[in-house]
A and B are shown apart, each in its own frame.
Chain A
Amino acid sequence: MSSNILLFLTTFFASAVEAVEALTIVLAVGVVRGWRSTLIGVAAAGVVLAVVVAALGPALRHIPIDTLRFVVGALLLAFGIQWLRKAILRASGYKPLHDEGEAFARERRVAAEMPSESGGMDWYSFTVAFKGVLLEGLEVVFIVVTFGSTQGKLGLAAAAAAAAVVVVVAVGAVVRGPLERVPENTLKYAVGVLLTSFGVFWAGEGAGVDWPGSDLAILGIVAFLAAVSFALTGYLRRAPRPVVADA
């Protein structure tokens, strides 16, 4: 039960973060250059993502569960530790916070500078919307497929991701602007801890680890990695710092 809730929350929040980033790009291009080509780009990316899910989902069922958990756990670890590292560096002031308002203004500026094509398809809008939705969407697909297949709950993971996308798009449609007030950095911090914790748990199971407390061990791993992350953030906030260029 607790692992189901954690799975839903992790997939929901990770998908919400990616959806906010995709929405920022789509809104900036759509507002400046018009919606027709932008929305066709969004739809085309949606079709490609659906094909990827349709191809990956059934293929994963043929892989032995321990091998699948080991590989998925390893991927989640690599992926989660990147999120967590950046979140810790942002929370401690070593990296600038990710600002959707600034990202929106930048995309808007670039979109306005590109020459527009009269009549027919605006390929700039199409390409930017397509790439933005495809790249952010691939991260969502990766999380849904890995979480869903490893725990045998693809439907739950897909529902969490779909709910996140619906919520983000609905809020975006209401505010008609970038979702600046979403605490994206806090979400990334939490999702980084959760992805890394699930990665440790599944990779360990795949490698043959017999976790004390079985599934409940996930909660212990989450608590442990969260404590380490908070301690590291606190230490860095107090430490004297060199000037670091943003990566």
Chain B
Amino acid sequence: MAKRIEDLNVIDNRRLTDDIFVIELLCDTELPVLIPGQFVQVKVEGSPETFLRRPISIHDVNYKKNTLSLLIQIAGKGTAVLSQLKPNDGLNLVYPLGNSFTYPEDGEKILLAGGGCGVAPLLFLGRFLRSEGFKPDILLGFRNSKRVIEYERYAELGPVYLTTEDGSMGEKGFITGHSVLSHNRYERIYCCGPEPMMRAVATYSLGKGIECEVSLENLMACGIGVCLCCVTDTVRGHVCTCTEGPVFNVKELKW
């Protein structure tokens, strides 16, 4: 699918927590075909300190409404500016970028595992998998009950299992310690979250011989494979996260 530079219109910006928000964007032209795992590069206007675009994964797509949604956590000046966007504001995107999660084998037992704002691409992926007849389980980890986001949306896709670090909701601890893992034999795990979580899930998956893909969030400048800044170390050497990823099979990563 050809990449585009395009202005989209903000139609909604809702807060999920004090620092996490979802922006829904309407496209004037027909949306390109978007695949779960892909991301967009967002231009942040208005400050010399937000010089580069911000890479943000696609959270949800609604082809009927011709909209796409981005789930964003305020992590610095750029995302703080984005959090202030209002309906009718424009947002310039370079998209669609990156590879995608691999299509599962027929009948595979699938787990979507995520944490924090890393749950973002898993909603789009989960919807896609459901539409293709797969029935994934969903395992999400958060710091505490106040940080739990988008629970109802994930619950539409399949059973949701939760952990919180303080035990205020779901099981106490990290997702790799959740009892659902000992009660089920998953054959494929798709994971996105903080890097320590992804590393833990990768170790778990490799140990059990489960196919596992993670979505990386490396610092990025161009998003199209020319600046070579966002590389990750793999069995093939340094490769660009923006073009060869952001989704990687954990067997490829030198973690």
- Are A and B genuine complex partners? no
Measured CB to CB, the residues of B under 8 A from A are: none
User: Residues of A with Cβ closer than 8 Å to B?
Assistant: none
